[in-house]
Amino acid sequence: MRLMDVITTYLYILFDTDIYMKIPEGLKLPKSCKVSSREHYSIKLNRPLYGLKQSGFMRYNRLSKYLLKEGYNTDSIFLCIFIKMFGSEYVIIVVYVDDLNIIGTPDLGKTKICLGLHIEHLKDGILHPYGCELVRSLDVEKDPFRPPTDDEDILGPEVPYLSAIGALMFLAGHTRPDISFSLNLLARYSTKDLGLYFANPSKGSLYGFADAGYLSDPHTSRSQTEYVFTMGGTSISWHSTKQTMTATSSNHAKILAIHEASRECVWLRNVIQHILGSCGIITDKEPPTVLYEDNAACIAQLKEGYIKGDRTKHILPKFFFTHDLQKSG
C-alpha cells in the first residue's frame, strides 16, 4: 500500500461556472477604480479554493474522468474506490480528498501515514502509535451517572477537558473502538499513549458483534447502541451512540442495536463483494455474515420475525429488518 498526496490539488482545476467573492482585507483596489468603497466590487475566481463546496466535487470529477479513461472501474455506490486489472494482477486506488491510497498485488512500497494515522509495518501486524501526551489526567468525578447537584463548579479554561475529548474522538474514530462508549458519554456533559497491535491471520471472514446498554443514561431513560465488525481479526467498523428512542426493556434496546448493526453489515458486505469481485479474487456470493448477540430472547424474537403480540406490538416492524436478512441468507 502506498500513499500519494496531491499538493494544492484544487488549484489545478479551472472553474466551469462563474463564481464571485468579496474583496478580502489587505487587497488594494486598482487605481482605475472610480469608486473607493470596496463593497461595490467583487472578484471572479478562476480556480477553486479550499472551503468552497464546488471544489471537492470538481476535483473528484476531474480525477475520476482521468482514471476511467486509463481503464479503472468504479461503482455508483462506492465512488471513492477505483480498480483496474492487469492480467492476474490488480491495483486499487482509494480516494479521500487529496489523498490517494494505492493497493495492489505488486510491491508498491509501504504507507507511512494515512489520514493522520502513523503506521508502522511489522512482520505479522501493524502497530499504530498515537500521541496522547497532550491528554493529561483530569480530576473529574468517578461516577458518570451521578445526578448533577446545584453546588457543582464549572470547569475553568485551565482544565483541558474539551481538548482531551477532541483528541480522543480522533482516536476512537480510527483505531480505538474500545473507548467509543466512554467517550460518547463524556462528550455529552484519557487514555494512555498506547498502540494497537493488529494481527495478520490467514482467514478474512467478516464477523459482527452487537449489544446495547439498557438505560445507560438514566437521566433521559435512553439506552446505548454499540456494534463492531471485524475482518481478518481486525476491527474495520464500529459505532457507539445513544439511541434516539426510549427502549422499554433490555430486549427492546438490543433489537434497536441489532437493527443498526444489520444496516452497517449490508453496506460492508457490498463493499467487500465489490472489491473482491472487481479484483478477480472471488466471483461467488459471500457466505452469510455471523452477527453475535448475547440476549437469547432477542435472538429468538428476531428469528420469528414480526408477530404482533403483547411482547412486540410496541416495536416498529422495520426493526425486524434483521429477520428478513436472515431469511434471505
Query: What is this structure's pTM?
Result: 0.57
Of 242, 237, 132, 236, nearest to 182 (Cα)? 242
CB-CB neighbours of 281 under 10 Å: 10
Contact, 142 vs 171, CB < 8 A? Answer: no
- Closest to 252 measured CA to CA, from 307, 206, 165, 319: 319
* Distance in angstroms (rounded) separating the CA atoms of residues 255 and 237: 19
Q: Nine-digit cell at 193? A: 499513549
Which residues in the chain land under pLDDT 50? 126-141, 158, 190-194
Per-residue pLDDT, 217: 83
Domains observed in the chain: 2-113 (no CATH), 121-141+159-196 (no CATH), 202-328 (3.30.420)
Cα–Cα distances in Å, from 91 out to 3, 145, 177?
13, 50, 29
Cα 256 to Cα 7: distance, rounded to the nearest angstrom: 44
Burial of 135: CB neighbours in 10 Å, binned 0-12, 13-18, 19+: buried
Which DSSP category does 81 fall into? E
Q: How far apart are CA 319 and CA 329, in angstroms?
A: 18
- State the burial class of residue 180 (Cβ atoms within 10 Å of its Cβ: 0-12, 13-18, 19+): buried
